[in-house]
Amino acid sequence: MSNTSMSNTSMSSTAMSSNTLTVVDREGVTHDLEWEPDQSMMEALRDNDLPVLASCGGTASCATCHVFLEQDVFDTLEECSEDELELLVEAEGYRECGSRLSCQVGFSRDLNGVTVTLTPED
Amino acid sequence: MTQNPVVIVGAGHSGVAVAAGLRSRGWEGGVLLIDAENELPYERPPLSKELLKDGASDESAVLRKEKFYADKGIDRLAGVTAESIDRDSRTVLLSDGTRQAYHRLVIATGSRARPLTVPGAGLPGTKCLRTRDDAVELKRLLVPGARVAIIGAGYIGLEVAAAAAARGCDVTVLEFQDRVMSRVTSAPVSRHFEQLHGRHGVRFVFGAAVTSIDGGQRAESVSVADGTVFPADVVLAGIGVLPNQELAADAGLECRDGILVDGDGRTSDPAIYASGDVTRFISPIDGTSQRLECIQNAQAQADRVAAHITGQAAAEPEIPWFWTVQHGVRLQTAGVRHPEDQTIVRGEPSGGKFSVVYLREGRLAAVDTVANLADFRAAKRLIAQGAWIDPALAADPAIPLTEATSGTPNHSDADLAAARS
Ligand SMILES: Cc1cc2nc3c(=O)[nH]c(=O)nc-3n(C[C@H](O)[C@H](O)[C@H](O)COP(=O)(O)OP(=O)(O)OC[C@H]3O[C@@H](n4cnc5c(N)ncnc54)[C@H](O)[C@@H]3O)c2cc1C
Ligand code: FES
């Protein structure tokens, strides 16, 4: 497992540099952002000025980074930790298939071009 | 420097959040962060948690990537401190001898560890924990078999106790009060964590007033008032913090154990704001004067400052909250408990998962949840609503907290009057 996935792919450096992310904010407005490989999804949202409070700094403690993902994307992700799930089920608008804490979603090539919807604030 | 510079002194959680908030709110003037520390501003909570773990990196997650500051046009002066404020000329004198003019000044200097003042406190081997350097140094000392004496059973002391025990140290916690975290939580939670630490080999000595640290070249033991001497290779003082308010106080701003600020984060000088651990303010929730030492407050106040400077509305205030992780067990607290609150335990502490809810005049005022994030989330919302709680329902963990509300106050008017007097 010492080889990273990067070493056995041969994508061009521009394609490797970042993902794109489409974000639908709470007013329904769409934003296209770059998602850098060294950012969690929460960081990409927050650092691009989307209103994600992230008041625990990404430690699955606050749920202020709750997002909805499209089901087919959601299904490809690793399962939630217990902490994440506990926070999510109490969150405003929780969806069994779709809700994630964006701080727990790491960068991955497979997530290039996904659409993320910010959840209602509670 | 760009027009209308906002100069922010201190690049911790709050200072960085002010800078980011100004930009996300569209501030077009200059933003300058004065940072006493040298590296990129970093997260503090991991310093007493993840960073101390065996094999963990000495890096603590940064608050924002380096690129963020450049992209947002946030200037940073690192390794420089603000020495004094000249309010008449609206300038700050820096330790490198330069002066920075400000349109608005934000003091986000945070707090420092309260120093231990007993004889011998300066001996090598005696530490406190506030910065990354402190954490890295401490970690080097936490070698297997080291005798570690921790003074103070608050959050920091207990998180370090857990980390030290996990690293194979011999840990003794000396606490003046009769239980752990007594300032911030109730007895059931204290007892639970005491037992948890006990199971991991941490010893507690309560009612212990430390009188000196003794040793030749370095700390060798800690003495307490009853004459007991505890041998120690490492001594950690976790006895609270002091606000870094001197800059403000010297400039004549009103301070009282914290820089006094209003709901918009303004000090007694309209061109100067303050934010984070260094401030004292009147809680919009219960009307008491508070100084909060948590990330949530550092961020929320930063947002209020950024909102006011840009002439916008601030976000709805979040209920203050805090978390700690000890031996892998997570305690989350929402709201600010008063010792006289009615205390209701939900669930069986021995099962490892429970909550304690605190009612004030029948309303939910605060909650402590142990390995129970569902209650935490629910309680946060109910506290914000000022929900009335039925104590009998709340005591039953099988009933979701959101269903433990009562439409009406559960106290008679006479009880309420008595509680208020
Ligand atoms: C080890 C540890 C663990 C913690 N764990 C948690 C936790 O789990 N949850 C939680 O909510 N909170 C936690 N806290 C508390 C939290 O870190 C603070 O509430 C928060 O950092 C406050 O932010 P601040 O910006 O006000 O101050 P700080 O983050 O302390 O930043 C202040 C900065 O100002 C700088 N400064 C001071 N004076 C000057 C000057 N004159 N010129 C220039 N710079 C100056 C300081 O060097 C510092 O970098 C923890 C704190 C510590 C130390
Ligand atoms: S940032 Fe707090 S849970 Fe994600």
**What are B122-181's pLDDT values in tens digits?**
999 999 999 999 999 999 999 999 999 999 999 999 999 999 999 999 999 999 999 999
| CB nearest B374 (choices: A39, A59, A89) | A89
Where is B153: in which H helix or E strand? Answer: none
> Nearest CA to CA, how far is A85 from chain B (Å)?
9
- For the stretch B211-224, pLDDT in tens is 999 999 999 999 99
Q: Which atom of ligand 1 is found nearest the CA of B293?
A: 19
Residue A6 confidence (pLDDT)? 39
Q: How many CB atoms lie within 10 A of CB B122?
A: 10
- Asked if A47 reaches chain B (Cβ–Cβ under 8 Å), the answer is yes
Q: Tokens 């990129």: give the residue.
A: B40
Give pLDDT, residue B328. 92
Q: pLDDT per residue over B366-389, tens digit each?
A: 999 999 988 998 999 999 999 999
Given a contact cutoff of 8 angstroms between Cβ atoms, the answer to whether B193 and B223 are in contact is: no
Give the mutation target among A59, A83, A89, A119 for probing the ligand 2 site: most ligand atoms within 8 A of CB. Answer: A59
Q: Residue A6 burial by CB count (10 A; 0-12/13-18/19+): exposed, middle or buried?
A: exposed
- Helices B187-199 and B155-166 cross at an angle (nearest 10°) of 20
- DSSP class of residue B269 equals S
Q: Is the CB of A39 under 6 A from ligand 2?
A: no
| Average pLDDT of every residue of chain B | 94
Q: What is the pTM of this model?
A: 0.92
Q: Tell me the C-alpha distance between B74 and B201, whole Å.
A: 47
Q: Are A116 and A45 in contact (CB under 8 A)?
A: yes
Residue A42 C-alpha to ligand 2 middle, in angstroms?
Answer: 8
Residue A21, both tokens: 């992310």
Is B65's CB within 8 Å of A36's CB? yes
- For chain B, how big is the Rg over CA atoms in Å? 23
Q: Looking at the predicted structure, is the pLDDT value of residue B276 above 80?
A: yes
* pLDDT at residue B265 tops 60: yes
Q: Ligand 2 in contact with A58 (CB < 6 A)?
A: yes
Helical ranges in B245-294 per DSSP H: 246-250
- In DSSP notation, B340-372 reads TSEEEEES-GGGT-EEEEEEETTEEEEEEEES-
User: Is B381 in Cβ contact with A47 (below 8 Å)?
Assistant: no
Distance from CA of A72 to the nearest CA of B (A): 27
Tell me what the pLDDT averaged over chain A comes to.
85
For B312-332, write each residue's pLDDT tens digit: 999 887 899 999 999 999 999
Using the mean position of ligand 2's atoms as its centre, give its distance from the Cα of residue B213 in Å.
41
Amino acid in position B207:
G
